Amino acid sequence: MISRPFVIGLTGSIAMGKSTTAGFFVAAGIPVWDADAAVARLYARGGKAVEPLQAEFPSAVLDGEVSKTALKAIISKDSTALKRIEEIVHPLVAADRAQFIAETEAPIVVVDIPLLFETGAQEQVDCVVVVSTDAKTQRARALARDGMTEAHFEAILSKQLPDADKRARADYVIETDNLESARRQTQDIIDHIKNRLKHA
């Protein structure tokens, strides 16, 4: 009986192809925990973040759910709000991730964490996979998204560790400029890790 799975931390800056790569892991039979999906669960009606956020920011909750639009408005008006929101939400997200790892029966799992290095979560994984592409492709992909502006893109980038730093700290890097190549690179990483575990 495996007491704990091998945990791959998957990360990458905005529009680098992380969601697509997470899909390649799922297609290869590797369960994936998604930080964004966890936040959505916590913010939904009955979610664990609803009550504490409502206590701190009453206007953040509408119809029993946390409103991301309301949170953005609160953050734009109050320079201390983001830190207070993170102090409530980050431990709940970490608990959701720990529950996923504890309950899985798979020998290898992926935790998809956009701000892996920025939040120190690399300390809780067994290896780090960074998805990456060139800056021109990244910008084009990001600006093709609904509602994305140059200013918003730059604001998101400013909160993320530079791509070069992420690559330098990664155990594996997946280049996502070509999808078929990225899928093969994902499978190669899975095969490499399975081989490591077999000989551990």
Residue 67 tokens read as 């409103």
Tokens representing 60 are 């953040």
Per residue in 87-138, pLDDT (tens digit) is 999 999 999 999 999 999 999 999 999 889 988 899 999 999 999 999 999 9
Catalogue all structural domains in the chain, each as residue range(s) with its CATH number: 1-31+108-200 (3.40.50.300), 36-103 (no CATH)
At 187, is the pLDDT very low, low, confident or very high (cuts 50, 70, 90)? very high
Residue 68 has pLDDT above 70, yes or no: yes
Sign of the dihedral defined by the CA atoms of residues 103, 108, 112, 118, in that order: positive
* Pairwise CA distance, residues 150 & 144, whole Å: 11
pTM of the model: 0.88
